[in-house]
Structure 1
C-alpha cells in the first residue's frame, strides 16, 4: 500500500538474531507470509502475484503521506517524552496515559500524530507513541522516518521498544499520521500473536493510517515506515576481490 508495487521480503530464518519471518506482499495486502519465533525450521513461501499491479483496476490512488499531519497543530500538553531503543534505534516516546485521547511526538523533521480510543485498557499494559528520524543500521545505513503506536514489554517504560508478541488491549479506533519528507511510506498493523490485519485498516489519501472498526484482536503495534532514500549515506566500499 505504500509504493504500490509488489514486495518480496526474504529472510534467513534465525530466531537468535530476531530474523523470524518473510512474506510476499501486494498493494492490496499480504499474498502470503510466515512468522515463527520458536523453531529453527525454514519455510518456502509461494504465491501468484499480479506482474504489473499499477495496471490493475483496483490499484490504489496516490497518497500524500504528510498532508493531514502538516495541516493540524501539535496536540497540546505532551512534554513528558522519553527515549527508548527499538533494535538499537533511539526513538522519542510518549506514554498513552488515558484510555482515549490524542498525542504528538516529534524527532528531527518528523512529528507523529495519534488519535485513539482503547476499548478495554489492561492495567498491566503500557502503550506509547514513538517517532524516529535518522539512520538505521551498523555497516550499511538507511535513513528511516518512523511513526509507531506500540505496546511496551512491561509496565516499566525502560522496556518500551523491546520485542512483544502478545497483548490484551483492543482499540475501538486509532488514526496515525506523520509529517513525512518522503512519498515512500509503508504501513504495518500487527495483532497479538504477531498476526497481520488485512482488511481491518485503511490508509486515507491524506496519509492517515486508520482502523476501519474496532480491532478484532488486541493490538501490538501500528506503524508507518518512511524511507528517505536521498538521505542514505554512500554505500561503504567493498574490498576488491
Structure 2
C-alpha cells in the first residue's frame, strides 16, 4: 500500500468519531497505532481497514469502558466484545445503586433539614456472613435484592455512612466449608412476593414460602447459595 492510500489523522478522526488528541494519545499508549509515521514531520497516517477497530474503541470509550478492557478486545473476534460489555454493565448498575442511595440520603436531609443527623450512641451497623466465594455471593445478593456491593470493604451496603439507614452485611470468605456453618438474618422488603421470587431466581432455595401470621407481618425465608438463611419481612 502506498502513501496515497493512507488517511491523514484528520480524515481518520472524521471517519472514526475520535478526536485528533485522542488518536495521538492512543498511539502513545499503543491502543491504535498509525500505519505510518513520517520520520521528518511526525505526521500519522492510517489504513482504511483500521477504521472499524477505531470506531469500536470510540464506542467503548464513550460508554466508559476502561482502556485496559478496550485494549483486550480490539482486533479480536466479535464474540470477545460481549463479555467486556457484560462486565461494564454490571459495574454501571453497581454505580447506579450507589448513586441511588446517595440521592435517598440527600432527600432525607432535605426532608429533615440540612443538619446532619447525630447517630445514636450505640446501634448495630454490621453483621458478617460466611461465604465460600465473595464475588459469587455478591452477585447473588445484588441480583436478589438490588443492593450496593462495596468491593473495597467486601460488604453489601445499605444507606450512606452516618445516616440512620447505614448498615453493612460483610461477606466473609472462609472457603467451601463456609456453607456448613451459616448464619440467619432478616431483611425488611417493600414487596415480599417480588423479593422472595427474585431471591429464588437468583439462586436461593426456599426455606419457607410467603405466609401470613397473626403475631407478625407476612414473611418468608430463603437460603443463599452458601447456606445462610435470610428471613424476608413485608415492610
TM-score clears 0.5: no
Larger radius of gyration: 2
* TM score, norm. by length of structure 2: 0.25
**Which one has a larger percent helix, Structure 1 or Structure 2?**
2
**Which one has a larger percent strand, Structure 1 or Structure 2?**
1
* TM score, norm. by length of structure 1: 0.24
Higher RCO (CA < 8 A, seq sep 6+): 1
